Amino acid sequence: MNNFFDLDCFLLNPELSKEVSSDHVRTWLEYKAGGGVEDPDSSDGARYFYKELWGERLGITVRECRNTFSRRPSKYVQGDWMCSVWTTLKYALQQTYKENENGYVWFQKPDIEKTFTKNGDVTKKTFDAILKHFDEFREVFEEKTVQEFIRSAYTSANLIIVPDGFNVKRNNRATEDYWDLTLKKYYQDKESLFYKLRNDDGKYDVATPFRKLLKKNQEEGDPLCLSPWIDEQGNPILLPHSPNDDKDNWRELMAEMTRRITCRRELMAQ
């Protein structure tokens, strides 16, 4: 059986128990560090999943090459994870392991601090370094809210199709890789978003085909199962971001994303 049609299967390791544990967190870190499985959202199984669920109904064509940008986002789609784990997990680490108002213990450990890029972005080496200090972060990694979210986020119920190139560009300062902010900015507010490759003079509009895809989805009765994210008036249902945006409510945020994935799983099963 194709695991992608088991909407509750933890795709990073289907052999793990459905009972959540720190093993799911460790497996996810190993995956981000470059070990374990290849990225499931672009696998052959996932591509078949997209075609079977949404191909004919939405008139979509999955890009031909798994990991190569087609340069035609108005024609081709690719898979994408909706809720991002790292986006919120990093706030959990920062809030839990505060040293003082100006510094955070978790990334000051030498093995971790040296792995960041010049822009402060994390790398595969960062996740490998976090794994080395795994036991020191038990307060977060043993948190059931974290475990449930990571397990849910890597099931097929958290997968969606987007215009080719959109999944990279939607991760920016304006959205922080959150789907509610993505929907608000590029669907409701109709702002522009362009994907540009390195060493390429092209500038590819990915926001317009995104809006067309969501409009087609609405016309077809929501086969993408976005009702946990968009209300009947077409407005994004915002996640519980904290008012001052310091993400001190990361538990509530993770729990709500898990709830939405669970709700979407039930809709997709129907």
Give the pLDDT confidence of 4-60 residue by residue, as tens digits: 999 999 999 999 999 999 999 999 999 999 987 888 999 999 999 999 999 999 999
pLDDT in tens, 52-65: 999 999 999 999 88
Over residues 259-270, the mean pLDDT reads 97
Q: What percent of the chain has pLDDT over 70?
A: 91
Q: Where are the domains of the chain?
A: 3-269
Confidence of residue 145 (pLDDT cuts 50, 70, 90): very high
Count the helix, strand and coil residues of the chain and give each as a percent rounded to the nearest 5: 50, 10, 45
Strand partners, 162: 78
DSSP 236: B
When mean pLDDT is compared across 102-106, 163-167, 180-184, 231-235, the lowest value belongs to 102-106
In angstroms, rounded to a whole number, what is the distance separating the alpha carbons of residues 22 and 217?
37
What's the pTM value of the predicted model, to 2 decimals? Answer: 0.93
Amino acid at the residue 202: G
Backbone angles phi, psi at 230, to 5 degrees: -130, 130
Model pLDDT, residue 108: 63
Q: Order the strands of the 76-81 sheet from edge to edge.
A: 61-62, 76-81, 159-163
Of 115, 157, 149, 156, nearest to 25 by C-alpha is 149
Model pLDDT, residue 1: 46
Place of tokens 């507010």: 189
Q: How far, rounded to the nearest angstrom, does the alpha carbon of residue 229 sit from its chain's CA centroid?
A: 14
Place of tokens 């249902």: 237
Is pLDDT of 93 > 80? Answer: yes
Burial of 7 (0-12, 13-18, 19+ CB in 10 A): buried
